[in-house]
Structure 1
Amino acid sequence: MNRRSWLQDAIPAALAACLAPRVLAQAPAPSAWPSRPLRMIVPGGAGSGTDVVARVFAEPLSRALRQPVVVENRPGANGIVGNNLAAKAAPDGYTILFSNASAIAINAAMRDAMPYDTLRDLAPVIQVSAGGVLLVATAETPVRDLASFVEYVRAHPNIAYGTWGVGSTGHLAMEAIARARGLRMRHIPYKTMGQLLTDLQGGVISLAFVDARSPLSLIQAGKLVPLAMTGTRRSPMLPEVRTLKQQGFDLDLDGWYGVFVPAHTPAGIVLRLNEEIARVMVAPALQASFAQQGLLWVERNAPEQFARVIRSDIRAWKALATTARVQVD
């Protein structure tokens, strides 16, 4: 995802009209902002991938803003609980949301009834990273790549696999693979990544989609075998693992992390946040920390550019869910 010439892109009138118009206007931030701590809502539990990345990110942002940025975990309903809390917060610049593609774009693509409107009630500030999710198998299986995965699943119809939730990136990716290759599999959604990894270690399941960071110690210990990455690029943590597309499967949607504020937050605050976060992101230490989480740093991008990414992803995930015949209650 190349995000060059961020200031050169004009804001399309249609986008400005329908996506938090006041946020996209050019205006200075109030001189007194921020005068007190900010809360960063994370729509995932403590220790989740989103939480870990948010905490890595919050510390340097606190220094840049000269105010504490306090991480507040609000997990539930694949991110809807935390997203809703942020969407309903006062648009005063003191609530920011650190969310991800699954919680933002996939929910919007697959759920008709949510307590907030993603495009109307949340204003994008900046995308900070991109990265895929990882298909793994236990070492006891003969599976070592996507081709042997397909052979193994075909020989074991209705085999169970795990992900971190119904409608998650991993769920959609696995169902798309199964549909395209004529495989029959049974999905087991887990509430946390920790529970999923525990069942992989215990032999309850032998196949799963996971984030690239959480299973690293198990991979290094030879207990799990990495098979393929979703997304457009390989993970910096596992550079030897090819993407699905590099193994002949046409799926290259990236996951991402990004920052949002409630719609109608003053435009100057949004732009100040964008500028400060962009400065934070170029620090080598932070880029190294992101690489340790299996994430790829994204070049500076304006709010309207991130908004276009979100809209495009919603359309793409909706099409994928339709093809894979995945529905959520």
Structure 2
Amino acid sequence: MTLIPRRAALGLPFLALAAPALAQTAAWPSRPVRLVVPYAPGGTTDVMARLVAERLGPKLGQPMVVENRPGAGATIGAAMVAQSEPDGLTLLMSNSGSHGVSPSLYPNLSYDPMRDFTHVALVVASPSVLVVTKNHPAQNLEQFIAHVRRAGEIDFAVSGIGSSSHLTGVRLGMALGIRVTAVPYRGAGPAMTDTIAGVVPAMMDSLPSAAQHIVNGSVRAIAVSSATRSGRFPDLPTLKESGVDVVNSAWFGISGPAGLPAPIVARLATAIREVLTDPSILTRFEDLTGAPPPESTPESYTAFVRSEIAGFAPIVRAAGIEAR
């Protein structure tokens, strides 16, 4: 009879329990991976997710299927992923709404954006753009500032309460010392429709969402909220360079539930990095956002999300908004 050393014997139950998990990790993904988008189809988050999923699937050896789970400021889809098994088969297109704004906006949020997730990579950051109706008296940012300061207030359309575009508008009002009234819509599409029709005089929208309307002249672009000018619209000034201290971008990344195994995180992060350095998607992202995708690691994305939560909190308080 072969005697097993006591120390080794004590380890056998652990190894027996760990073996299936290790084998599952090694075989990942064994079936299609679901990428949850916590917004309706057609918006910026959805567009970015589908661009990434289309190219990421072949690198993982399984299709990546986009599933839209909209509602409650992106928190419904996020909560679903937080509650899923950490097997790498359900991921989230995390974003500034679900993970930056939500902790301050929802007092009874069902998930913790840090504790309940494994953050893998930041995929893209997209600035907001201030647009006005084509018949608006302001032709540029300087004229717009003078116009709203004379009035002391402005109404602007937003894709939803607590959205990145909403909070950018709040910051703009704070910087200019005027009262801003956000007119919320169920998505950027309806908001843009009413802006084009002149129902509201101005809108804060993500640049990818508004780009075609700017190009075809349906609305007039005034300024972008990024730190530098857009490569697609190089003549469009930033708010910052015009003396308005507002820099803000909506951002989108890939996250999984807490406890995602380290080998899966590493493989997924590597595949995302390969996708984001592919010339074809670089061109597409720059065309949509005016900027290349950021370099990101699980560590840097985790730190980034934490900093965004802290940064959005005072803006939400200043806006006096709370969702229930």
Q: TM-score, normalised by structure 1?
A: 0.87
Structure 1 distance, partners of 2:97, 2:291, is 17
Deviation readout 1:214-268 (Å, 9 max, x if unpaired): 2223212223111111132322322221221111111223321100000011111
- Give identity over the alignment, percent: 33
Which residue identity is paired with 2:282?
A: Q
Match of 1:47 in 2: 42
Closer, same or farther: CA 122–164 of 1 in aligned 2, 3 Å = same
Which residue identity is paired with 2:155?
A: A
Structure 2 distance, partners of 1:120, 1:251, is 30
The CA deviation at 1:328 is: 3.8
Match of 1:87 in 2: 82
Structure 2 distance, partners of 1:207, 1:68, is 40
Larger Cα-atom Rg: 2
Of 244-253 and 79-88, more deviation after overlay is shown by 244-253
**Structure richer in helix, relative to its length:** 2
8 Å contact from structure 2 (residues 125, 294) kept in 1: no
> Residue 293 of structure 1 aligns to a residue in which SS?
helix
| Among candidates 291, 295, 298, match of residue 303 of structure 1 | 298
Match of 1:141 in 2: 136
Give runs of aligned pairs for residues 282-297 of structure 1, distance below 5 A: 282-294=277-289, 296-297=291-292
Which structure is richer in relative contact order (CA contacts within 8 A, separation 6 or more)? 1
The CA deviation at 1:326 is: 4.2
> Residue 118 of structure 1 aligns to a residue in which SS?
coil
Structure 2 distance, partners of 1:136, 1:100, is 23
The CA deviation at 1:270 is: 0.9
Match of 2:94 in 1: 99
Structure 2 distance, partners of 1:96, 1:105, is 17
Match of 2:66 in 1: 71
| Among candidates 209, 221, 224, match of residue 219 of structure 2 | 224
> Residue 208 of structure 2 aligns to a residue in which SS?
coil
The CA deviation at 1:161 is: 1.0
8 Å contact from structure 1 (residues 45, 75) kept in 2: yes
Structure 1 distance, partners of 2:116, 2:30, is 24
> Residue 270 of structure 2 aligns to a residue in which SS?
helix
Closer, same or farther: CA 325–246 of 1 in aligned 2, 3 Å = farther
8 Å contact from structure 1 (residues 232, 252) kept in 2: yes
> Residue 132 of structure 1 aligns to a residue in which SS?
strand
Match of 2:114 in 1: 119
Which residue identity is paired with 1:249?
A: V
Structure 1 distance, partners of 2:178, 2:234, is 28
Match of 1:245 in 2: 240
The CA deviation at 1:128 is: 1.2
Deviation readout 1:64-91 (Å, 9 max, x if unpaired): 0110100000111110011111111111
Match of 2:30 in 1: 35
8 Å contact from structure 1 (residues 29, 268) kept in 2: no
| Among candidates 76, 99, 108, match of residue 103 of structure 2 | 108
Which residue identity is paired with 1:226?
A: A
Match of 1:234 in 2: 229
The CA deviation at 1:156 is: 3.7
1:277 aligns with 2:242: no
Closer, same or farther: CA 77–293 of 1 in aligned 2, 3 Å = same
1:198 aligns with 2:193: yes
Alignment root-mean-square deviation, CA: 1.9
8 Å contact from structure 1 (residues 141, 206) kept in 2: yes
Match of 1:184 in 2: 179
Structure 1 distance, partners of 2:277, 2:164, is 27
Match of 1:9 in 2: none
Closer, same or farther: CA 253–193 of 1 in aligned 2, 3 Å = closer
- Structure 2: which 5+ residue stretches go unaligned? 1-21
Structure 2 distance, partners of 1:185, 1:255, is 20
Q: TM-score, normalised by structure 2?
A: 0.88
Structure 2 distance, partners of 1:320, 1:110, is 10
Structure 1 distance, partners of 2:236, 2:321, is 27
8 Å contact from structure 2 (residues 35, 66) kept in 1: yes
How many pairs were matched up?
303
